[in-house]
Structure 1
Amino acid sequence: MSTGAGRNTAPTAVGTNRDVLRVPGFRRLALAWVFSNFGDSVLFLTAAIWVKQLTGSDAAAGLVFAALGLPALLAPFTGRLADRNRRRPLLILTNLAAGGVVLTLLAVRGAGSVWLVYGVIFLYAICSYITAAAQSGLLRDLLEIRLLAPANGVLSSIDQGLRIVSPLVGAGMLALWGMDTVVLLASGCFIVAALVLATLTLAETVHVRAEDETFWKSTTAGISFLRGHPLLRRALLSLGIALGATGILNVTVFATVEQGLGRPPEFLSVLLGVQGGTAILGGLAASGVIRRLGLRRCMVSGVLLLAGGVLATALTVLPLILAGAAAVGAGVSLLVIAFVTLRQEATPLDMQGRTAAVTQVMTNLPQVAASLLAAVLIGVLPYQVLVAAMGAACLLAAVPLLPRRTGTPVRAAGPGRVE
């Protein structure tokens, strides 16, 4: 088994954002992440708006998001794919495939061919799951363990920033020049990402399949590992509960704006802008917080910030609601980055893709389920009741992360202290 360049050292402290940006390979990976994420973000929301224009149906537009979420069910298989192949070539081919698949949207010319939109979104969403799974292992091969936290923080900040900018760009292009220009831009972004990744050089870990390993055992190994790891099992439960609660927020925030503040729905963009801005700052600050508090306490801090932020949305005072939106953005960033770093440090190199895939399922499906439940309940319950339930769920999410008095404490295999 070959060894990646960054794994021979035994660091004693979490690195900084500046440290990780000094690594040429990471700078290339981050640049590819900018292009692939921009292509992803500019397309999916614009596609929903486009389907609404073509059909006049809200339900038809909503099916775009359903097509985007369905590949989560295939995550164990995409994770296995990322663990059983060299990850850099896989990322290159996946981005090229995404760029090609997206071009199929140029054939859509009316409501009768909207089915093609759903198929394309489904396929390119599979590509995004493969990309996320492969990138987790690539980071472990590329970086010292002490640089994982700042690397995850930088990539998260890029992601959050593009989520603010890309949909605006896509919607503007759709209004001015039509959907074909958005399709060409998204396809070009994926192709450029592949070209950038082609210039990345690193020593990748070679994974050898065990003789007694069956396909099913290999596919579900990520689930088995996370379930059997004392700290990761509890941390994943906390993550699922907390992010599931934010699915309720996606529904109640409209009532917060219209009923709580008495403002038009368009004011939601202000709250989302504040939340996105602090999510970016939270990503950039995450490595420093982890360095001072350790991974577990960073996750607890993120959960508590999230709980305070969502409870603030039940209020009617604008400054407090804005502060709550800021707390939600920062809290989610700290929670997710600390968990991802813990998972990367504790997971064996040949299982990075599969545990990453399980994480994606546990973060996406609870959100979707909670949003659907809240959409039903908000018609019969005051939104403040749902907000209170959401805040209670966030506080409950901190319980699995609390230190236990008995047994030997579990520590991650790296500098991101768990205590």
Structure 2
Amino acid sequence: MSTPAMDEPLLSVRGFRNLFLAGAVSQLGSQISYVALPLLAVTALGAGAGEVGLLAALGTLTVLLLGLPAGAWVDRVRRRPVMIATDLLRAGALLSIPVAWWGGWLSMGQLYLVAVLVGAGTLLFDVASYSIVPALVGRERLTAANTLLVGTGAGMDVAGRSAAGVLVQVAGAPVAILLDALSYLWSAAWLRGVAEPRTTAREPDPMGRRIAEGVRFLFGNPILVTALLQGTMANLAFPLCSVLLPVVIVRQLGQPEWVLGAYLAVGGLGVLAGSSSAHAIGRRLGTGRAAWLTSLVTTPAAIVVPFLSAGGPWVWASAVAWFVLTFRTGLNNVLLVSLRQRVTPDAMLGRMTATMRLLLTGALGAGGLLAAAVGELWGTGPALALGAAVMALSWLPYVRSPLRHEP
């Protein structure tokens, strides 16, 4: 399969267009469930801070078990069937929630199981998806392609999170989760039109050897190590600042569900703004310099986030700080992902992506567990403060790193 010409619009490339359309709607549904699932646990099952934190952590901690084998496996198989199968897995798992709700047997145990299945499906899907993009568009157009993918995903975040609070209030959380399940079926249908790039046959290697090769490659590249360290700090901090938001906003401050949806939507707007401007900023400053300077300027805003617990106007001051922090996330999601794909050979993409995903998503899971523990032992305020402190220091890995000078 040949890559498209540089002057050919990306959305005229059939494989990339179908990947784009598949991801756009499923991302919308995922953000609805992002709000609806913890709200269902809090409002219908009486979940507290510990249970909400565990629910958030399970979907990400699944990566700790499957991350490294997933990358080694995806590097040896066709990637389109993997993405379709995981879409169907996630759809089935989510469909079980409204069925159980209407049948009267929904429990936290089922929500935990669904979180694990959806987390496993998302891991395999993302590893395959990131690995297939360079073959669809060519390495020289990765930043433009990721700007489109991440920017559209961020737009769906805004729409999904904005609609989720209202949708839950009007139709109920089970209906909102049902819509997410249908979005995965949509994604599977569009992925059928993604042409599988031809790959060179490889001699079978032991799984352990392939995993070790991927780990050595990542930790032997100082650019990838820098991206990993700063991403790990940010991913540890974000759950501490966000997992307990349903408890803080809905239960402690007594705000309606739409306020939670609006707060989260502000974060989606930040990701959208950052990802949409990443290509232009990266071309002007250079990829590494743009990521470094943006981190240095934006991370101090984290100090404002814990004041959310004071209520009143501090809710919206905290939301503005959340916008600033997620702007950085959107920019990094384009520039650093493109850089990771650019410096990694095709035969190593799955393993690099999975190893990176293992550690970054593991940090998210650890942050969720830490939020649950701190929230239960000392309250939501200290959890928010700890997350803000880690986020405010997450620019440190760039110091003296060669990534700062990458074009």
Task: Give the TM-score taking structure 2 as reference length.
Answer: 0.81
Contact 1:254/1:268 (<8 A) preserved = yes
Structure 1 stretch displaced more, 62-71 or 346-355: 62-71
- Distance change >3 Å, CA 383–CA 83, structure 1 → 2: closer
- Distance change >3 Å, CA 269–CA 201, structure 1 → 2: closer
- Distance change >3 Å, CA 256–CA 94, structure 1 → 2: closer
Structure 1 stretch displaced more, 156-165 or 141-150: 156-165
Alignment-derived partner of residue 268 in structure 2? 276
Instruction: Count the aligned residue pairs.
Output: 392
- Distance change >3 Å, CA 186–CA 341, structure 1 → 2: same
1:344 correspondence with 2:336: no
- Distance change >3 Å, CA 390–CA 148, structure 1 → 2: same
The structural deviation recorded for 1:371 is 5.2
Contact 1:222/1:358 (<8 A) preserved = yes
| Aligned pair partner of 1:80 in 72, 86, 90 | 72
Contact 1:242/1:303 (<8 A) preserved = no
Alignment-derived partner of residue 355 in structure 1? 352
Alignment-derived partner of residue 288 in structure 1? 280
- Distance change >3 Å, CA 249–CA 23, structure 1 → 2: same
- Distance change >3 Å, CA 354–CA 322, structure 1 → 2: same
Q: SS of the counterpart of 1:6?
A: coil
Alignment-derived partner of residue 46 in structure 1? 36
Give the alignment of 1:207-218 within 5 angstroms. 207-210=201-204, 213-218=205-210
Name the CA distance, whole Å, in 2 between partners of 1:234 and 1:102: 36
Q: SS of the counterpart of 2:3?
A: helix
- Distance change >3 Å, CA 306–CA 55, structure 1 → 2: same
Query: Deviation digits for residues 137-196 of structure 1, max 9, x if unmatched?
Result: 110110121211122122222222223332454554444445553454223211111111
1:157 correspondence with 2:151: yes
- Distance change >3 Å, CA 403–CA 223, structure 1 → 2: closer
- Distance change >3 Å, CA 165–CA 192, structure 1 → 2: same
Alignment-derived partner of residue 32 in structure 1? 22
Q: Counterpart amino acid of 2:231? A: L
Structure 1 stretch displaced more, 157-166 or 172-181: 172-181
Contact 1:102/1:183 (<8 A) preserved = yes
1:56 correspondence with 2:46: yes
Q: Percent identity?
A: 25
Query: Deviation digits for residues 326-375 of structure 1, max 9, x if unmatched?
Result: 32121111223222111111112122122212222332332443455463
The structural deviation recorded for 1:303 is 1.6
Task: Give the TM-score taking structure 1 as reference length.
Answer: 0.79
Query: Deviation digits for residues 237-290 of structure 1, max 9, x if unmatched?
Result: 1221233333443379899999xxxx8766665554433213202111111122
Name the CA distance, whole Å, in 2 between partners of 1:44 and 1:253: 12
Alignment-derived partner of residue 395 in structure 1? 395
Structure 1 stretch displaced more, 58-67 or 229-238: 58-67
Q: SS of the counterpart of 2:197?
A: coil
Q: SS of the counterpart of 1:142?
A: helix
Name the CA distance, whole Å, in 2 between partners of 1:100 and 1:112: 15
Give the alignment of 1:7-406 within 5 angstroms. 19-58=9-48, 59-73=50-64, 74-108=66-100, 109-110=103-104, 113-178=107-172, 181-210=175-204, 213-250=205-242, 271-313=263-305, 324-370=321-367, 372-373=369-370, 375=374, 379=379, 386=386, 389-390=389-390, 392-399=392-399, 402-403=400-401
Q: Counterpart amino acid of 2:397? A: A
Contact 1:44/1:121 (<8 A) preserved = no
Name the CA distance, whole Å, in 2 between partners of 1:323 and 1:51: 27
The structural deviation recorded for 1:118 is 2.4
Name the CA distance, whole Å, in 2 between partners of 1:190 and 1:149: 26
Q: SS of the counterpart of 2:37?
A: helix
Q: Counterpart amino acid of 1:362? A: L
- Distance change >3 Å, CA 134–CA 383, structure 1 → 2: closer
Q: Counterpart amino acid of 2:339? A: L
Query: Deviation digits for residues 383-404 of structure 1, max 9, x if unmatched?
Result: 89747733552232332xx356
Q: Counterpart amino acid of 2:175? A: T
- Distance change >3 Å, CA 300–CA 255, structure 1 → 2: farther
Alignment-derived partner of residue 414 in structure 1? none
Larger radius of gyration: 1
- Distance change >3 Å, CA 248–CA 117, structure 1 → 2: closer
The structural deviation recorded for 1:215 is 1.4
The structural deviation recorded for 1:296 is 1.3
Structure 1 stretch displaced more, 246-255 or 113-122: 246-255
Q: SS of the counterpart of 1:5?
A: coil
Q: Counterpart amino acid of 2:144? A: P
Name the CA distance, whole Å, in 1 between partners of 2:299 and 2:163: 32
Structure 1 stretch displaced more, 168-177 or 279-288: 168-177
Name the CA distance, whole Å, in 2 between partners of 1:256 and 1:47: 16
Structure 2: tracts of 5 or more residues without a match: none
Alignment-derived partner of residue 407 in structure 1? none
Contact 2:306/2:381 (<8 A) preserved = no
Contact 1:140/1:344 (<8 A) preserved = yes
The structural deviation recorded for 1:33 is 0.3
Q: SS of the counterpart of 1:394?
A: coil
